[in-house]
Structure 1
Amino acid sequence: MTIGSHIAQGLTPLIDLIYPPRCPICGESVAQQGGLCSSCWSELVLPSEPACASCGRPFGSDVISQGSQCAPCLANPPRHAGISAATLYNDPSRRLVLAFKHGGKLGLAPMLARLIAARLPERDEGDPPPLLVPVPLHRWRLWRRGFNQAALLARELEKAGKGELAVDLLIRRKPTPSLGGLGRKARERALKGALAINPRRTGLIANRDVTLVDDVLTSGATSDASVALLLKAGARSVRIACFARVLEEALNAPRTAPALDTETPEVLGTSGAT
């Protein structure tokens, strides 16, 4: 344990006295800072098995054979190496994301990242750690918000031993509008030329596995564009990791977690990443 950890541990009782720990979703008292109450935890929906071998979309049936693919992936095979989502996007996960991204509760980053980390596959012994690449914000949005939520999650994933942070490997060269409600062609036009590989970081990526990190995966348009750029730049593979994934059809048969926005995503159909 580091000196900083010892100091933080020693200050915990004082912090709890001044700011009693409460559930960030409902406000009920909880045992420690950054935790959820049992009621809200049970309302989170975790992606479950069996699932698509390519994108991780839950099938909702236990009669699907191992290695099966969902219809969108069969129709248009994705270029990514899989999607690791901590939760499916529902009201509790939405409230967590909004509190984190717009409510200034940056202290939620370790908890959200722990849930993401639990879904990431273990790497083979001897393989170099994957690069943790956050989906970038344009500098104007970064200036207004003060932080990139994806970068905060990627930093916590690095602390958890899930890879090597490459915070500025991807850059956003121009601002883009909200992609919610746009068709595929309109999304492609909005993203054209918006993302790029940082020319100062090109030496990092050759033959490396990459984990692309974001808070919410909606249409998959931004992640698809990012995956294409990373593969073209020489990445061996790119896995998408997020806290919440919008899959409305999977919520029709809820799978809840076990007991112990102003930018609301729209459900849009995109193969491999919805």
Structure 2
Amino acid sequence: MKKRILDFLFPSVCFLCKEEIADGRGFFCADCFASLRFIIDPYCQYCGEPFACEHLGGKEKCCLSCEENPPPWQQARAVFVYDDASRKLILPLKYADRLENISPLAQLMSKFGKDLFADHPVLVPVPLHAFKLWSRRYNQSALLAQKLGKLLQLDVVPDALIRCRSTRPLAHLSVKQRHEELKGAFQINKTQFKKIGKRPVVLIDDILTTGATAEACVTILKEAGCEKISLLVVARACEQTL
């Protein structure tokens, strides 16, 4: 009875189209759910890129790109392919104060990244530069990490990394230009890093495109002494969407 009253007063709505969900369950209506491209097995264990078919990647489940140029992190997971549908969830959170999207996205990340949490890691979000943080008023990656920490009872160190240099927008830069732009952009917050020590780390971000930002963060964490670092994002761009 209580559930029926709550459903009547506060009906569940789809986080994409905002239409009421008929059975009151889940985050998306049937049509929007069908439009989202969830990344499920088979996928590359190292970068999270989905495979077109089961036999690709071999026994190691490693894509050709990671085989030729192994990423600095150990594993990467993403909930969605970054496309028009997933953009409607991520960009409003990132730029339009749609903080209500934090909870469903964090819950999905906790399920799709569950194999990253077996050894009770510390969650570290990718930081924003102070100027960008001031203009946006929040770091969406830090909010996702905080929510994940509460859901999974994991420690979160939101200030372990500092973005010490402002950079140009990366969206229209080449891979090489992105790496050049991010040189020296991050550093360790030594006071906060003491909370991590030698414990495994899961780096949290909203979108993985070329991996340049994540690579810069992981490199700094490794230089500080972290030995096991994984990556968990809401969505990742795939070859056909770059």
Same structural fold, with TM-score higher than 0.5 when normalized by the shorter chain: yes
In the alignment, the residues of structure 1 paired with residue 26 and residue 53 of structure 2 have an alpha-carbon distance, to the nearest angstrom, of 34
Contact 1:197 1:230 in 2 (8 A): yes
Other-structure match for 2:74: 81
TM-score (norm 2): 0.89
For residue 110 of structure 1, what is the amino acid of its counterpart?
S
Is 2:122 the partner of 1:131? yes
The 1:123/1:36 distance shift into structure 2, 3 A limit, reads closer
In the alignment, the residues of structure 2 paired with residue 112 and residue 89 of structure 1 have an alpha-carbon distance, to the nearest angstrom, of 14
Contact 1:130 1:162 in 2 (8 A): no
C-alpha root-mean-square deviation of aligned residues, in Å?
2.3
For residue 200 of structure 1, what is the amino acid of its counterpart?
T
Moved more, 75-84 or 26-35: 26-35
The 1:68/1:23 distance shift into structure 2, 3 A limit, reads closer
For residue 201 of structure 1, what is the amino acid of its counterpart?
Q
For residue 99 of structure 2, what is the amino acid of its counterpart?
L
Other-structure match for 2:203: 212
Question: Among 15, 21, 31, which residue is 1:24 paired with?
Answer: 15
In the alignment, the residues of structure 2 paired with residue 133 and residue 122 of structure 1 have an alpha-carbon distance, to the nearest angstrom, of 13
User: Any gaps of 5 or more consecutive residues in structure 2?
Assistant: none
Equivalenced residues, count: 237
Question: Among 91, 101, 113, which residue is 2:84 paired with?
Answer: 91
Deviation track 1:71-100 (CA, whole Å, cap 9, x = no partner) reads: 111111111011110111121110011222
For residue 76 of structure 2, what is the amino acid of its counterpart?
I
Deviation track 1:9-62 (CA, whole Å, cap 9, x = no partner) reads: 99x949x74x75432321211255982212111211111322223223222122
Contact 2:116 2:202 in 1 (8 A): no
Contact 2:121 2:202 in 1 (8 A): yes
Other-structure match for 2:64: 71
Counterpart secondary structure, 1:205: coil
Other-structure match for 1:148: 139
In the alignment, the residues of structure 2 paired with residue 40 and residue 104 of structure 1 have an alpha-carbon distance, to the nearest angstrom, of 21
The 1:180/1:83 distance shift into structure 2, 3 A limit, reads same
Other-structure match for 1:119: 112
Contact 2:45 2:76 in 1 (8 A): no
User: Any gaps of 5 or more consecutive residues in structure 1?
Assistant: 1-8, 252-266, 268-274
- Structure 1 runs of 4+ aligned residues shifted over 3 Å read 31-34
Contact 1:131 1:166 in 2 (8 A): yes
In the alignment, the residues of structure 1 paired with residue 88 and residue 231 of structure 2 have an alpha-carbon distance, to the nearest angstrom, of 22
Is 2:29 the partner of 1:61? no
Is 2:168 the partner of 1:168? no
1:183 Cα deviation from its structure 2 partner: 2.4
Q: Which gives a bigger RCO, structure 1 or 2 (Cα 8 Å, sep 6+)? A: 1
Deviation track 1:151-195 (CA, whole Å, cap 9, x = no partner) reads: 110011101116311010011112111112322332122112111
Other-structure match for 2:181: 190
Percent identical among aligned pairs is: 36
Other-structure match for 1:221: 212
In the alignment, the residues of structure 2 paired with residue 213 and residue 118 of structure 1 have an alpha-carbon distance, to the nearest angstrom, of 14
TM-score (norm 1): 0.79
Counterpart secondary structure, 2:132: helix
In the alignment, the residues of structure 1 paired with residue 96 and residue 49 of structure 2 have an alpha-carbon distance, to the nearest angstrom, of 30
Other-structure match for 1:272: none
How do residues 255-270 of structure 1 correspond to structure 2 at under 5 angstroms?
Answer: 267=242
Moved more, 90-99 or 220-229: 90-99
Contact 2:76 2:232 in 1 (8 A): yes
Contact 2:161 2:188 in 1 (8 A): yes
In the alignment, the residues of structure 1 paired with residue 59 and residue 190 of structure 2 have an alpha-carbon distance, to the nearest angstrom, of 41
Other-structure match for 2:94: 101
Contact 2:175 2:210 in 1 (8 A): no
Contact 1:179 1:187 in 2 (8 A): yes
The 1:163/1:196 distance shift into structure 2, 3 A limit, reads same
